[in-house]
Amino acid sequence: ERMNGAKAKQAGLVKRPWGDQGASDEERSALLQVMLRLLDEELFRTLLEDHNWRIREALILALPTLLEAQGPDLFKGIVAEGFFQGLTDKVAAVRSAASRGFKYLLLHLGSDVLLQQAMPKLEDLRLHPNYAHRTSMLEALEGLCGTDAPSEVMEEVGRLLMLLTKDPVANVRVACA
């Protein structure tokens, strides 16, 4: 007798690599090894657009390690796209993963690249109509505050925070406080 996918999963015959609880460190490491071998823009974009948010989250969580392994040139293309697409994802866990990973941009790329390439994108998010995306931006800025960021970066973070204290949505203003 043939079994459809839902019945097979229910019977325990099909197990997704990330299960229902999210990816473990071991699973993320395995995904990273596969990505390092097969990394190209088409695969990366396919994973970023996967319907399973856990795949998108695992990819976003692997980005800092990819940056460390492949070097800063990787940021110019697909990694930058991944971080910023993650900040505007429809699932809060993916947005949070991108926000938490933002501090690694400073660590792996340096303040010049962060100020020239990443901060303008965050500035664009400040005007996004979806307030959840603006709060993701705040979480990314918060991550930068926890690093030993140079004064130029901290000045830009402070400027963006001051602008967000005047946001029309109370949740954003509260998150700034």
pLDDT one-digit tens code per residue, 42-87: 777 788 888 999 988 988 888 777 777 776 666 666 677 777 888 8
The pLDDT value given to residue 163: 92
Task: Please name the residues in contact with 29: beta carbons below 8 A apart, sequence gap of 6 or more.
Answer: none
The pLDDT value given to residue 38: 61
Please give the C-alpha separations between residue 120 and each of 29, 91, 113, 117, 139, in angstroms, as whole numbers: 31, 23, 11, 6, 16
The pLDDT value given to residue 168: 93
Please give the C-alpha separations between residue 32 and each of 26, 59, 98, 120, 150, in angstroms, as whole numbers: 10, 8, 16, 28, 30
Task: Please name the residues in contact with 27: beta carbons below 8 A apart, sequence gap of 6 or more.
Answer: 17, 18, 58
Query: How far apart are the C-alpha atoms of 24 and 61, rounded to whole Å?
Result: 11
Query: How far apart are the C-alpha atoms of 61 and 99, rounded to whole Å?
Result: 10
The pLDDT value given to residue 33: 67
Query: Per the confidence metrics, is the pTM higher than 0.75?
Result: no
Q: What is the mean pLDDT of the chain?
A: 78
The pLDDT value given to residue 65: 77
pLDDT one-digit tens code per residue, 29-45: 677 666 666 666 677 77
Looking at per-residue pLDDT, the higher value among 103 and 136 belongs to 136
Nearest alpha carbon to residue 48 among 106, 104, 87: 87
Residue 5 pLDDT > 60: no
- Sign of torsion over alpha carbons 71, 76, 81, 83: positive
